[in-house]
Structures are given as structure tokens and as C-alpha cells.
Structure 1
């Protein structure tokens, strides 16, 4: 189940501290993407890992603005710890199909705690 849209105000409130954590690693990452209409650059904290491809949890589902922006552009920059990677060719997949590629703690958080149903898998270019 995607997280309810009612949680968006809370998510926006914790965005800045979450971006600081993303820079420290710890299973968090920062996705930099462009707005579909505005062309503005946005940064969104996410749960992500690099396991060959980049696997990003889509907690709010495929309708989240950042997800729609990434799919419209077909590219994004992903910062995981100190690494900044250009990711391309996003694919929306069921979380259960990538669980075996996730570290145990990330697997537990995405699947059990956050109950994330979908992930985005992107190729590093």
C-alpha cells in the first residue's frame, strides 16, 4: 500500500533533516530531478541502494511528483553517501521482486515497516 497523501505535509517537514542524513549514507539517498512543467530542479530524500542497478523505494507510489518527474525525464542524479550517480531508464517494479538484492536492514524497512509496494530500478549510466 502506498503511503497516504495525507502524510505529505509531514514528509515535507522532515525533508531537510532527511537530506542531511542522505549525505551520510545509512541507506538513505538524495534523488535530484527536474519538474515536468516548471523545469525546476528538486531534491528528494529516499531509501535507495546500489546493487548493480540503483533500487529506490517509492513509498508514496507511482503518483508521487518526484516519481512522475523521473519517468518524464527518464533520468535523475542519485547521491548515495559520497557517490553522485547518473541514473537512467527507470522501471517501476513490485518491491517483492527486488527484496533479494537489498541489504537486510533496507529490506526490513521497505517491506515490513514502510510496507513499500513499489520500487524504481534505474541503470547507472
Structure 2
């Protein structure tokens, strides 16, 4: 079950800017689907052999998820590197979780049926997800 929407609004306005300034978490840069404005969202980025998976704690209708799905691309800043991502799609946790590093913990409220956002490495980038941590 996703976290309440009011908490998402508090995070967006208060805690996300603080997390970005701290620089300790991966940051997903994406374009607003209506405004075209650039947004930066701190997230946990779980590396896969060919990309990353992100957990929308507030559900699949979260603004950043909808923005990424609409634009088809995003950029991930992680470990001092910029990684271009594309081909966003929603996947069931049960389908992707076995691909993650052993011991990856499931956040509270996330079930095997929860939808996660999966993105591929952009081929031209030559990046390998496991090379940059997560």
C-alpha cells in the first residue's frame, strides 16, 4: 500500500531539497510532462544488469513517475556520475526483485504486486549499472 499523498507533498517541498543539498542519495533528473520544467528527485536507485529500478513509495501515479513515463528518458546522478536512462516502464516487484543484489530489503508497504519503475541504460552511454553503485 503506497504512503499517503499528503506526505508526498511534504517530501517534495521540504525533505527532497534537503536531500539534494546533502548529496548523499542518487538523484533522478526529469522533465515535467506539462511544464517542460526540469525536476530533481532524490530516490533509491537499485542497479540491474541493464539499468535501474526505482520504488515509487507513493504509488505509480506519483508526479516523478508520470513525468518519466511521459518523456521516456531521465538522467541519474549517482556516485559522482551522470547516467542516461530510457525505456521507462512499470513492472511488478515480484518480476524484478530477484534481479537485485542479494539482501536488498523491501521497503514497508511494498508487496510483490507493487509497481516499480524500471529503466534501461541508454546504449550510447556505455555505462554498466553495477559499476556505479546504488
The residue number in structure 2 matching 1:69 is: 67
Query: Normalized against structure 1, the TM-score is what?
Result: 0.82
The residue number in structure 1 matching 2:57 is: 59
Q: Which moved more, 1:94-103 or 1:80-89?
A: 94-103
Distance 1:103 1:113 in 2: 18
Q: CA RMSD in A?
A: 1.9
The residue number in structure 2 matching 1:3 is: 3
The residue number in structure 1 matching 2:29 is: 32
**Unmatched tracts of structure 2, length 5 or more:** 123-134
The residue number in structure 2 matching 1:96 is: 94
1:102 Cα deviation from its structure 2 partner: 2.3
Larger Rg: 2
Distance 1:85 1:29 in 2: 11
SS in 2 for 1:3: coil
The residue number in structure 1 matching 2:47 is: 50
Distance 1:75 1:112 in 2: 25
Query: Normalized against structure 2, the TM-score is what?
Result: 0.77
User: Could you list the runs of 4 or more consecutive aligned residues of structure 1 that deviate by over 3 angstroms after TM superposition?
Assistant: none
The residue number in structure 2 matching 1:113 is: 108
1:29-73: per-residue Cα shift (whole Å, max 9, x none)? Answer: 211001111111000111112222111111112111111110110
Indicate the structure with greater strand content: 1
Distance 2:64 2:44 in 1: 13
Q: Between Structure 1 and Structure 2, how many residues are aligned? A: 118
Q: Which moved more, 1:1-10 or 1:70-79?
A: 1-10
SS in 2 for 1:63: coil
Contact 1:61-1:118 within 8 A present in 2 as well: yes
